[in-house]
Amino acid sequence: MSASAGIFNDLRILWQLTFNRVKGDSHAERLESFYRHQASGYDAYRRRLLHGRTDMIQSLPVVEGGTWIDMGAGTGENVEHMGDNLSKFGKVYLLDLCRPLLKIGEERVAEKNWQNVEPVHGDATAWTPTEGAGQVDLVTFSYSLTMIPDWFAAIEHAYRLLKPGGTIGIADFYVARKHAGESERRHGWLTREFWQTFFAVDNVFLSPDHLPYLKNRFETVQIKERFGSVPIVPFLYAPYYIYLGRKPDDVAAPE
């Protein structure tokens, strides 16, 4: 995409984000309302907004013949960051509740001829693969957790799906707790209030509780807390984190 085309696409997406009224009674209906007019330009815009995805995915363990579920996978671009290691997985599920984005994902899978990748329409808080709970090696959320109303349930479901020793990987926007721990990044009042308000307009809800909850639920492997630039808007940087965790080995698999 040329520079001028990229700017036009950014402006078009920003127009949709600003003026497209999100409608719908269910979460699925609201997602479709939000994304149906921007699905085709989704990747190009968010490539410059959703920082840390490549870092997170390329830090994940590669499980030969294993199962990976990308929760809220959207267009399927996330798994491309796995590179040649993608073919080593036995099965990769691109799970999303938004049909317009999933349609792009289906087209991508067909174009790339990924034989082990399957786009699936489903809810990240409930959908279970044929392998069953307690049989999944890897679960990821790439900028999807902030868009899931019951994110607690999504994490708990991921926990149930993972094998003992399985890995969860997350990259997403967040704000720190007002009284963050000494080892944690601290955000001032303006940072916390501005970014929560900024993203909430688009039903993206930044939480100060993601990282504390994840650290309590999993064995932490890696945490990175950073700021990333926002397209079109110079000198504006949004807080995001990367989290890698491990389900403890001594947890019994569900029957």
CATH number, position 232: 3.40.50.150
Asked whether residue 81 is assigned to any structural domain, the reply reads: yes
pTM value?
0.83
Give a yes or no: residue 36 inside a domain: no
Examine residue 252 and state whether it is found in any structural domain, yes or no.
no
What domain range includes position 238?
Answer: 49-246
pLDDT > 80? residue 162 = yes
Is 24 domain-assigned? no
Q: What pLDDT does 202 receive?
A: 77
**Residue 68 falls within a domain, yes or no?**
yes
CB–CB of 255/33 below 8 Å? no
Count of domains for the chain: 1
**pLDDT score recorded for residue 206:** 96
255 domain residue, yes or no:
no
